A and B are shown apart, each in its own frame.
Chain A
Amino acid sequence: MPDIEPLRRQVQAKIRKLELRANSGLWILALFTALSLCAFRDFDFLPSFSESLRASLGAGPPVDYINWALVLYGFSAIILVLSQMTGNKEPSCRSALGHFGYLSAFYAFYHFSAGLPENFWAVFTIGMTILSLLSYHIWNHYRERVREEQEILAELDKLLEE
């Protein structure tokens, strides 16, 4: 009978890797919470841009435009995540990071258009919703993969005992 110990170790390593991936959504959620704490203070601890740099960047977009962009983004992101869940597609950490990037950009645009204090809670709520959905999808998907690997491990353990 061939030695199954290396295979067993391989499966165990895969389980550990999958468990780490299962929690990646939660890490991004924590990262977003940290960013939101900074945004809540309107990034007052960061040095402000010089007048020349501000002038070269130009005026920020009107707050109304950012609001509509946020509604459009929030709606489509939720539909996208729900369709990923329905289609049982493998979620990637990169897509969660992408959403984190979009939400950071919204905080930045509101900050430069001087509309962050009024619209902070809107960005925070939609961000938490999208990232929570994505985290749940990631967690569920990888937990299932972990369970499959654990079944394989149990079979290998049985073979070892025999």
Chain B
Amino acid sequence: MFDNLIARAIVPIAIAVTGFVVFGCILLYSLIQSDMTDEAVGHLDSFAETIVKSTRYAMMKDDRESLRNIVENVGTLAEVEQIRIYDQRGQVRFSGDSREIKPSDDIRPIDGWMKQILLAEPDNQTTTQHRIDREAELITVAMPILNEPQCSTGACHFHAEDEQVLGFLNLGISRKPLEKTLALLRSRMIIFSLMVLFLTVSGVAALLSRNLFQPVLKLTFAAAEAVQGVAAKDLPKADSKLGNLEKDFRLLVQQRDQAWQDQKTASFLLKNGDHGAIPTTTDRDEDAGHRTATPPGSGKNPQA
């Protein structure tokens, strides 16, 4: 099935083109996914930065009402799935979901990253933490809310100057819009790849068939006819796509016909001397075993 001329020409092209197009699409999709996730994380960072600045100002003024209000309002945004402000002990003090705020005597273990930030040198305390939670479909950012000189010296405030971290902000947005965009991109890429594959493979197959396979099949049919004894003039008409091969083949058949004719004439003269009529071309053809060709049709060799 795969070792004839047509398969040998089409199969490698089909495999190479299909494989490379699918590979290219997968890699492109993976790169776009990574770029879009980075973009979403960048957007989330600037969003969190804005919230940190607002909350820091509210903290400086010791305006807990404003702080609660900021957190609750941000929490109502459609894309925001979670917003929490932790204190230095890692306990949730403000949250978009009021059920998450625990009484001050309910102490939970502090998150490892928060502990690390609290113990770090002041220069390393600005590090943010990004998490992509595929199960909960969340992209979260956690960043420390740092103390500032005007904050520590504020008359209203109780934070000491050496307490660099006032608390932590944890902000999470849903991955669903990103996943939706990626799903749309994926389906469009699949449709586009299928179209490219279909056009490439069928285009190459059509060109090969028209310029190579059909002329070869016609020549094969003509050769089979010639073997059966059909004369050169009765062979199916040829096109010029195979160039000299076609011409040389017909020349060979004509030479064979000529040789048969000469042989017939010689044997006739030998038998009857100079008295008999020399046989006509038609007579000679019939005597030589020539038969009329079947009309040229599809170009397919009936015996193949």
Q: Given A118-B34, A121-B26, does the pair A132, B19 have CB atoms closer than 8 Å?
A: yes
Contact-size category for B: 10 to 19
Q: Is B18 an interface residue (CB 8 A)?
A: yes
Contacts of B30 in A (CB 8 A): 67, 118-119, 122
Return the CB mask of B19-57 against A: 1 if under 8 Å, else 0. Answer: 110111011001101100000000000000000000000
Alpha-carbon distance between A63 and B30 when the two chains are bound, in angstroms = 11
Flag the segment in B9-17, B58-66, B250-258 that touches A: B9-17
Question: CB within 8 Å of B: which of A112-162?
Answer: 118-119, 121-122, 125-126, 128-130, 132-133, 136-137, 139-140, 143-144
Contact A133 B16 (CB under 8 A): yes
In the bound assembly, the distance between CA atoms of A67 and B22 in angstroms comes to 15
- Asked if A82 is an interface residue, CB under 8 A from chain B, the answer is yes
Do B16 and A67 touch (CB < 8 A)? no
**Residue A78, interface by CB 8 Å:** yes
The answer, among A63, A118, A129, A139, for a CB contact under 8 Å with B20, is: A129
Contact with B along A59-74 (1 / 0, CB 8 A): 0000100010011001
Nearest CB of chain A from residue B93's CB, rounded to whole Å: 34
Chain A's interface: helix, strand, loop or mixed, by majority? helix
Whether A132 pairs with B23 at a CB distance below 8 angstroms is no
- Report yes or no: A122 in contact with B2, Cβ–Cβ below 8 A: no
CB distance from A83 to the nearest CB of B (A): 11
Q: Among A119, A129, A137, A139, which residue has its beta carbon within 8 angstroms of that of B19?
A: A129
- How far is A81 from B11 in the complex, measured between Cα atoms in Å? 13
Q: Counting CB contacts under 8 A, is A27 at the interface?
A: no
Question: Once the chains are docked, how many angstroms separate the CA of A22 from the CA of B145?
Answer: 68
Q: Which residues of A contact B31 (CB under 8 A)?
A: 67
Q: Is the Cβ of B15 less than 8 Å from the Cβ of A129?
A: yes
B20/A74 in contact, CB under 8 A: yes
Chain B nearest Cβ from A77, distance in angstroms: 10
Q: Could you tell me which residues of chain A, from 79 to 132, have a CB within 8 Å of some CB in chain B?
A: 81-82, 85, 118-119, 121-122, 125-126, 128-130, 132
Chain A residues positioned under 8 Å from B111 (CB to CB): none
B12 shortest CB reach to chain A, Å: 6
The answer to whether B12 touches A133, judged by C-beta atoms less than 8 angstroms apart, is yes
Other-chain residue from A125, A136, A139, A143 in contact with B23 (beta carbon distance below 8 A): A125
Contact assessment for A85 and B12 in the assembled complex, using a CB-CB cutoff below 8 Å: yes
Could you pull out 26 A-B pairs where Cβ atoms are within 8 angstroms?
A: A67-B27, A74-B23, A75-B20, A82-B12, A82-B16, A85-B12, A118-B30, A118-B34, A122-B26, A122-B27, A122-B30, A125-B22, A125-B26, A126-B20, A128-B19, A129-B15, A129-B20, A130-B19, A132-B15, A133-B12, A133-B15, A133-B19, A136-B15, A139-B2, A140-B3, A144-B3
Given contacts A71-B27, A78-B20, A125-B23, 12 further A-B contacts (CB under 8 A): A67-B30, A71-B24, A81-B16, A118-B30, A119-B27, A119-B30, A125-B19, A126-B19, A129-B18, A133-B16, A136-B2, A136-B12
User: 4 closest pairs, A vs B, by CB?
Assistant: A129-B19, A125-B23, A126-B23, A122-B26
Q: B: which residues have CB within 8 A of A?
A: 2-3, 8, 11-12, 15-16, 18-20, 22-24, 26-27, 30-31, 33-34
A-to-B contact residues, CB < 8 Å: 63, 67, 70-71, 74-75, 78, 81-82, 85, 118-119, 121-122, 125-126, 128-130, 132-133, 136-137, 139-140, 143-144
